[in-house]
Structure 1
Amino acid sequence: MLDFMKHIAFKAGELSLAAAREPDSLTVEFKGEKDLVTAVDRKIEVFLTEEILKKYPGHTIVGEEYGTKTADEGCRWVIDPIDGTVSYVHGLPGYSISLAYQEQGVTRAGVVYGPLLGQMFSAEHGKGASMNRNRLQVSSRKKLRESVLATGFACLRAGAEDNNLKHFNKIVPRLRDVRRMGSAALDLAYVAAGKLDGFWELCLSEYDVAAGVILVKEAGGCVCDFGGKDNFPQQGIIGANPFLVEKIRSMLQHQ
């Protein structure tokens, strides 16, 4: 299963790179005032869907661009063809191909691939996480002032009044630094790799985080919503090493 997922994620990444080499063909549309989509997003989702259904014709697929193709609800794929479309359109490396496979509501495997970075993150339930075959482990930092966190602003793109700016202004002065990759899937992958110590964000969808969540958990990290429960990403999402998750949550909880 995991080899198949990595194979089609790599092929999808090749499609994204080929299209980016012909920028005149990179047409951009708007799903909202700021929410971009390209023909490449749609092309990759079609490719991934076709490849999955060839191998697993009875499975359900949930994708960002074309919604849900329902078959066997017990076996379910959650895919984001390009997580970080703004980065992709602007020629920046912070975008990824994200795939998660679930059985009976439990994510069994996940892959996040950064084509411009050449980084293939993967995880399997109970078997750990890796990047390009190197085993991953979340960081062991215990103090926020020594930590680098990542976040994003999907809430602003969605026009949410209850947005991340108030959290950002409260948390950032307590940190060593903050990073903004542009892809929640990559942010979570870097938490899993110990390159980032934590991540938080609002207004995300399941396809943004499903693969990243299993990466963090299999690398020894914790994932929860802003209330410390499992209602993520609907109630916000936090992914971090075990020492920091409660410290981050406490700052997000009390506003």
Structure 2
Amino acid sequence: MNYELICSKVIAVTRLTGNFIRKESMNFDAGAVEFKGLNDMVSYVDKNAEKLLVRNLAKLIPEAGFTTEEETINSKGAVYNWIIDPLDGTTNFIHGVPTYSISIALYEEDKPVVGVVYEINRGEMFYSYKGGDAYLNNKVIKVSSRPGLSDCLLATGFPYYQFEKQAQYMQLLSEMMQKTHGLRRIGSAAVDLAYVACGRFDAFFEYNLNAWDVAAGAFLVQQAGGNILNFAGGDEFLETREILATNGLIDGEILEAIKRSFKS
């Protein structure tokens, strides 16, 4: 398979869907919101954007399966599978906060081979493919080279359900606040990971995320020279639903802080 060609076609599909989301944002009615669970919202924009993505991506690799957030389709392909979040940052979108994205990853034999994250409002297209570099709008990107936490800016996400670990998480946040340039909470994990890939953030950590939130962004970080780990330092981040993305230089410091905060 020509991964670069597939990636270029995914970018075109993503732009088309981004145009739809941007147009809908101008007259969006917050009353048209449904709740999938506690603080877990969805709108017709999410669902229609997903249908648009699926329809066009299916043309690229007809035999591929799909894992999608809104479950407009879910199927398992023998070799190829798309992992899609049509609107990562739905809460931001609903409230008119201008940071949300489209996240698309293509897996081949359970390994990522294409990743695209499109931050819609700034028009920033982050992408990579197997055998290539990571890019932002056609420019090669790399993770940061800052070697210690004291010079770093980190990103995270706050739990909005399953609050059993809230106390431990707050302890971790407290330590990171004191040891870094600061913490940011943008509200789109896909964007957070893309920002690690291009060096704006030096690390990102969060738990209780799903595959569609992180599959594309994690691939971007790895392609840009960074590391993707779970909170135990292993690489099973999708299975454990814990992710730590770093520039590869500050892993130890953050993992030690996580261990202190989440010790039993």
Q: Check whether TM > 0.5.
A: yes
Find out whether 1:46 has 2:51 as its counterpart: yes
* 2:179 counterpart residue number: 174
> Which of the numbers 149, 157, 176 marks the counterpart of 1:144?
149
State the 1:162 CA deviation.
1.2
Contact preservation (8 Å) 2:47, 2:72: no
Residue 251 (structure 1) aligns with: 257
Report deviation, 1:83. Answer: 0.5
Please give the secondary structure, in 2, of the residue aligned with 1:217. helix
Pick aligned residue for 2:188 from 159, 183, 188: 183
Contact 1:41/1:65 (<8 A) preserved: yes
Gaps of 5+ in 1: none
From 149, 162, 165, the equivalent of 2:165 is 162
Equivalence for 1:10 = 15
1-structure distance, mates of 2:241, 2:231: 6
TM-score of the two chains, using structure 1 as the length reference: 0.95
Does structure 2 conserve the Cα–Cα contact (< 8 Å) formed by 1:12 and 1:48? Answer: yes
Q: How far did residue 235 of structure 1 move? A: 4.5
Structure 1 residues 122 and 186: CA distance shift in structure 2, 3 A: same
In the alignment, is residue 207 of structure 1 matched against residue 212 of structure 2? yes
Q: Which of 48, 52, 60 is 1:55 aligned to?
A: 60
1:236 aligned onto 2:208: no
Closer/same/farther in 2, CA of residues 167 and 70 from structure 1, 3 Å limit = same
Q: Matches of residues 115-134 of structure 1 in structure 2 within 5 Å?
A: 115-134=120-139
5+ long unaligned stretches in structure 2: 1-5
Distance in 2, matches of 1:177 and 1:202, equals: 19
CA RMSD of aligned residues (A): 1.4
Structure 2: how far apart are the matches of 1:239 and 1:24? Answer: 35
Instruction: Report the residue type matching 2:38 in the other structure.
Output: E
The answer to whether the Cα contact below 8 Å between 1:129 and 1:219 also exists between their aligned partners in 2 is yes
SS at match of 1:82: strand
Structure 1 residues 71, 144: CA separation in 2 closer, same or farther (over 3 Å shift)? closer
Give the conservation status (yes or no) of the 8 Å contact 1:96–1:186.
Answer: yes
Mapped contact 1:114–1:120 kept (Cα < 8 A) = yes
C-alpha distance in structure 1 between counterparts of 2:11 and 2:249, whole Å:
31
The alignment-based identity, stated in percent, is 35
Which of 197, 201, 205 is equivalent to 2:202? 197
Determine which of 40, 45, 64 is the counterpart of 1:35: 40
**Distance in 1 (alpha carbons) for counterparts of 2:196 and 2:175:** 21
**Structure 2 residue matching 1:237: 3-state secondary structure:** strand
- The question of 1:102 aligning with 2:120 is answered no
Question: How far apart are 1:5 and its partner, in Å?
Answer: 0.9
Aligned amino acid, residue 5 of structure 1:
V
CA distance in 2, matches of 1:217, 1:12: 26
Give the alignment partner of residue 227 of structure 2, picking from 222, 247, 255.
222
The 2-side partners of 1:51 and 1:25 are apart by 28
Q: Distance in 2 between matches of 1:104 and 1:121?
A: 23
Alignment deviations for residues 62-91 of structure 1 (CA, whole Å, 9 cap, x no partner): 000016532523100000000010111122
Moved over 4 A (4+): none
> In 2, distance between residues paired with 1:159 and 1:67?
25
CA distance in 2, matches of 1:24, 1:74: 40
Pairwise CA distance, 1:25: 7.3
